[in-house]
Amino acid sequence: MEAELMALIGTGATTVVGLMVTDAWGQAKQRVVGLFAPGGESGGEPGGMAGELEESRTALVAAEGAADEEDLRSDVTASVRLRLRRLLEQDPGAAEELRRLVDEFAPAAPPPGTVHNSITGGRQDGPVVQGHTFTHLTFGTAGGTARDQAD
């Protein structure tokens, strides 16, 4: 699959999962269900796409602020990404609808020159370096080097 479609799938999955925990979900849900189930799946059919999305949404909302929130969000995003990939492999024409959905609902990109960094995955006990290219970095420790401690 080409890089542009893979990027669209990633952005689409992130957008869908992000929408699940917002007030905009009610507005976007039918479009997402329609994307995955062309031909019109019933909106609340248990076990259907709408039901699966609602289960994921319920779990995400319940996990807000919990220790495993990021893990759950990552799992749901991976699941949606896989479904989108399968969808576009079977129906390449669905890419246009996914692109429209992303364009309409994806958060606006920060203006040029603005940097937004975030650290996920739990507690960070050491230095965190974010940037482009780093070489020859050295971080001191509170106790000095092993040689200093042996003297």
Which residue is listed with tokens 């290219």?
Answer: 133
Identity of residue 58: T
Q: Which of 124, 91, 105 is closest to 15 using CA atoms?
A: 105
State the Rg of the chain over Cα: 21
Global pTM value = 0.66
For the stretch 9-53, pLDDT in tens is: 999 999 999 999 998 898 899 999 999 876 655 444 445 888 899
Tens digits of per-residue pLDDT, 87-126?
999 999 999 999 999 999 877 665 666 666 777 777 777 7
